[in-house]
Every structure is written in C-alpha cells, then in structure tokens.
C-alpha cells in the first residue's frame, strides 16, 4: 500500500525529540514547555472526589456548565468582559484542539491565513490540512515584535484568518495596546477572522498586563480566543483547554469539536471548576513565574549568552550569535549530551528554519533544577 502523506514535511516535533534526548542522557530538561514540579495536591483531591462521586461518564459536548460559568467569571474578573457561558464558552481537550477546531471551522480551500514567523508548531499543519495557504509575516528581531507594515502588505482579498499568539512562544513577546489598536484598524470592516492563542495569559512579567483580544469590541466579534488550564494550573497532562468566541463563531466551532473529541474528561472539568472559584490560584501566577525567570536570568548573567528577560510565557531565549557559528540544533543536542542541559533550537519555529543562533530554555522547573542547569551553563565553554 502506498500512502500519499497529507503532511509530507512534518516529522516528530522538536519537543518530543529533545525531551527524549534529555531523558536518554539524564539531562536537566529545560526543552519542552511543561512544569517540572507537581500541581497543587488540592486539584488531585478534587478530581478524586468527583471520580468517587461517580462523575465518570461523558461530559456535555460544550463542557460542564459550572466550568463554563467559572471561565466566564474569570474572564469578567481579569478582563472586565461579559461572556455568555452557554453560547460563547466551549471546553475542549487542550488549546491544541481549540486551535485546530477554530481553524477547521472557518478556513476553506484557497483561503490565505496570516501567520507570524516564528510561530508555534501546530498552526501551519491545521491550516494546510484545511486547504488554506499560510502567509508568513516575519517578526522583528531581537524582541520578536510585530512589524505592522509587513502585516499590511500581507493582507489580501483572500485573507480569511490571522493567527495571533500573545504572550508569544518562543520569544515571550507580549502584545501592547498599540499592537491591538493597529490590528483593529487592519481588520475592521473586512471579512477577516482571528484565532488568538493566549495560553500564557496568566504569565506576564514586570507589571505587564496580558491584553486579550477579547477586550476590543471590533476584535471580540471576530476572534476565537484559545486558552489552556495546562499552563495555568501546572497540569499540562490533563489536556483541558477552552475556546471563547461570539455565538455565531462558537456554533461553527462546536460543529468541529463534537466530531474531533465530542467532549473532554468529566472529573477534570469539575475539579477545575471548583479550583477556579478561588481567583488567587491564577492571580498569583505572574509572581510565581517571575521569581523563576529572575533566578534564571541572574544566573545567565554569568554566562556568555546574550538575552533580554522574557516579557511573558515560561520561556527564556538566549543568543550565542556572537560566540559561535554552530547551528542552533547542533548546539542544543551538544549541550544535552555534553553538559546535561536540554533546550529547544528556535529555528524549528521558523517557516524556512532560519537559524538566528538562539536557544529557548523553559524555566517552569524546580529552582534546584534551574540552579543546577545554570551551574553547568556557566562552566560551559562554547
Ligand atoms: N508547548 C510546549 C512547548 O512549546 C510543547 C507542547 C508539546 O510538546 N506539544 O514546549
């Protein structure tokens, strides 16, 4: 049997590759983005409680009502935006599903979709599988901010969707109100929709506030906002996320969601609903992660890497462009094997795999692991 691949250029993701290499080498894994510490034991007790109470059958397709309601309450508290939890909030199996379902709901054969470059790895395959054409707009180094002249030039009659990601993976760039306002100018009165990946919504630093695209009326009426409890509550393995979108978009989104997964794990949803009722569980996250970012950046000062502290997300980029010609992939592999610290080469996030000699380190790890990794990096001679 010969199979003609629908994604001929896609292999195993770099996150799987580097995590496996880290495990094979016994290295400290600062590559794949997941917390290197456990979630709050209260969450585990809540899941157990709901499982023991018999909440083990299918959840409603759109999510359990109490969780949808709690997501609406959080959105009101954080962004002062009122959502109808019946018609505008859908619980799904992780932000990856939310992004795939949103793209699938609206992208048709031949539609152009604007993507910022570099971008998280699941966007382009979702677009291509739906017959869409990714149109890449390069972000500006060194901070990976948006060059709006380039966005303007990329918009055409065929543009159907723009993929936004703030705070950004891998750079940590956080959109400003100027970014939001310029996007408004470009899409107002046009038939352009937006998928906004906001999975790091609660991880911003130095007093920066995450500005959700929901907060502007022109954007709100055309945007699918994708979120993830994996990032917010240190439970990436639970794969529970959500999509916030106006009723007409939600209707189309749910048509896809109901045939992708139909619904997501019931006891996890009830546990998350209980846990969300205490806002301190997400409002304390910026401080929690800023301490880790600061610890990591302090230690990096004693290496020869160049960096600016991340504005958001739990990733820190470092440049070695002034130190070596080695490719970022080779260096990431060598650091894992030789000194036992795994990272992600960011060339994999670029459409053309351009190598800026930048590595991405995840600092969502135990302080002891960050300190041990820094010690190794400080002693490493490039
Ligand atoms: N989002 C995580 C990262 O950027 C990876 C998740 C995954 O492995 N799919 O590292």
2 within domain boundaries? no
CATH number at residue 316: 3.90.1150.10
Check whether residue 92 and residue 142 sit in a common domain. yes
Mutate to test the pocket of ligand 1, among 11, 15, 313 (most ligand atoms within 8 A of CB): 15
End of a domain among 280, 303, 338? 280
Residue 371: per-residue pLDDT? 98
Same structural domain for residues 307 and 182? no
Residues 153 and 189 in one domain: yes
- For the Cβ of 32 lying below 6 angstroms from any atom of ligand 1, the answer is yes
**Ligand 1 atom, smallest distance to 16 CA:** 8
Decide if 9 is inside a domain: no
Asked whether residue 8 is domain-assigned, the answer is no
Query: What is the biggest distance separating any 2 CA atoms in the chain, rounded to whole angstroms?
Result: 59
224 in a domain, yes or no?
Answer: yes
Nearest to 168 by CA among 266, 313, 344, 354: 313
Q: What is residue 249's predicted lDDT score, i.e. its pLDDT? A: 98
Ligand 1 and 122: CB distance under 6 A: no
Same domain assignment for residues 26 and 56: no
Q: What is the pLDDT of residue 291?
A: 98
Please write the tens of the pLDDT for every residue from 271-302: 999 999 999 999 999 999 999 999 999 999 99
State residue 194's pLDDT score.
98
Among 280, 297, 322, residue at a domain's last position: 280
Q: How many domains does the chain have?
A: 2
For residues 239 and 329, membership in a common domain is answered with no
In a shared domain, residues 265 and 358: no
- Answer yes or no: do 107 and 185 share one domain: yes
**Is 137 part of any domain?**
yes
If you measure from the C-alpha of residue 33 to the centroid of ligand 1, how many angstroms do you get, rounded to a whole number? Answer: 5
Which structural domain, as residue segments, surrounds residue 249?
Answer: 42-280
**Which pLDDT value is given to residue 106?**
98
Residue 117 in any domain: the answer is yes
- Please state the atom number of ligand 1 nearest to the C-alpha of residue 199: 1
What residue's CA is closest to ligand 1, atom 7?
15
Q: Is the CB of 165 under 6 A from ligand 1?
A: no
- Structure tokens, 101: 């379902």
Are residues 150 and 297 located together in one domain of the fold?
no
Do residue 314 and residue 200 come from a single domain? no
| Closest residue by CA, ligand 1 atom 4 | 33
Which residue, 250, 280, 310, sits at the end of a domain?
280
Does residue 318 share a domain with residue 186?
A: no
Report the pLDDT value the prediction gives residue 382, as an integer from 0 to 100: 83
**pLDDT per residue as tens digits for the range 106-120:** 999 999 999 999 999
The answer to whether residues 364 and 248 belong to one domain is no
Atom index in ligand 1 nearest the CA of residue 362 equals 10
3-state helix, strand, coil in the chain (%, to 5): 45, 15, 40
Residue 33 Cβ inside 6 Å of ligand 1? The answer reads yes
**Residue at 3 is within a domain:** no
Give me the pLDDT at residue 190, please.
Answer: 96
Q: Which long-range contacts (CB under 8 A, 24 or more apart) does 72-79 make?
A: 73/276, 74/276, 74/279, 74/282, 75/212, 75/214, 75/244, 77/279, 78/201, 78/212, 78/282, 79/212, 79/214, 79/215
Instruction: Look at ligand 1, atom 1, and give the residue with the nearest C-alpha.
Output: 33
Q: Which residues contact 237 (CB under 8 A, 6 or more apart)?
A: 34, 230
Both 257 and 369 in a single domain? no
CATH value at residue 210: 3.40.640.10
Residue 33 CA: nearest ligand 1 atom is 10
Does residue 4 belong to any structural domain of this protein? no
343 lines ligand 1 (CB under 6 A): no
Residue numbers of the chain with a pLDDT score lower than 50: none
């Amino acid at each position: 049997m010969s199979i003609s691949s629908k994604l001929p250029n896609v292999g195993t993701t770099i996150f799987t590759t580097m995590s496996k290499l880290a495990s094979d080498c016994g290295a400290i894994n600062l590559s794949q983005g997941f917390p290197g510490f456990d979630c709050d034991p209260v969450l585990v007790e809540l899941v157990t409680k709901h499982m023991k109470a018999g909440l083990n059958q299918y959840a409603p397709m759109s999510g359990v009502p109490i969780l949808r309601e709690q997501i609406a309450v959080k959105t009101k508290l954080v962004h002062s935006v009122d959502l109808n939890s019946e018609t505008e909030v859908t619980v799904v199996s992780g932000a990856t599903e939310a992004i795939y379902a949103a793209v699938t709901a609206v992208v048709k054969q031949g539609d152009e979709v604007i993507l910022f470059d570099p971008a998280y790895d699941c966007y382009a395959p979702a677009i291509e599988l739906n017959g869409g054409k990714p149109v890449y707009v390069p972000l500006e180094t060194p901070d990976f901010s948006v060059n709006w002249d380039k966005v303007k030039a990329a918009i055409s009659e065929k543009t159907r969707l723009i993929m936004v990601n703030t705070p950004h993976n891998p750079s940590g760039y956080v959109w400003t109100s100027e970014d939001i306002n310029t996007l408004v100018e470009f899409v107002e009165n046009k038939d352009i929709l937006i998928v906004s990946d906001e999975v790091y919504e609660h991880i911003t630093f130095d007093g920066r506030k995450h500005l959700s695209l929901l907060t502007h009326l022109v954007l709100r009426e055309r945007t699918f906002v994708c979120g993830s409890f994996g990032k917010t509550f240190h439970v990436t393995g639970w794969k529970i996320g959500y999509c916030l979108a106006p009723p007409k978009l939600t209707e189309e989104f749910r048509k896809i969601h109901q045939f992708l997964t139909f619904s997501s794990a019931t006891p996890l949803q009830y546990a998350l609903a209980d846990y969300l009722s205490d806002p301190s569980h997400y409002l304390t996250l910026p401080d929690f992660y800023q301490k880790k970012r600061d610890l990591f950046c302090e230690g990096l000062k004693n290496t020869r890497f160049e960096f600016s502290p991340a504005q958001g997300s739990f990733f820190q980029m470092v440049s070695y462009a002034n130190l070596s010609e080695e490719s970022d992939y080779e260096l990431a592999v060598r650091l894992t094997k030789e000194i036992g610290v795994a990272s992600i080469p960011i060339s994999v996030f670029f459409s053309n795999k351009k190598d800026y000699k930048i590595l991405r380190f995840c600092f969502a790890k135990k302080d002891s692991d960050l300190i041990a990794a820094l010690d190794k990096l400080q002693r490493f001679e490039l």
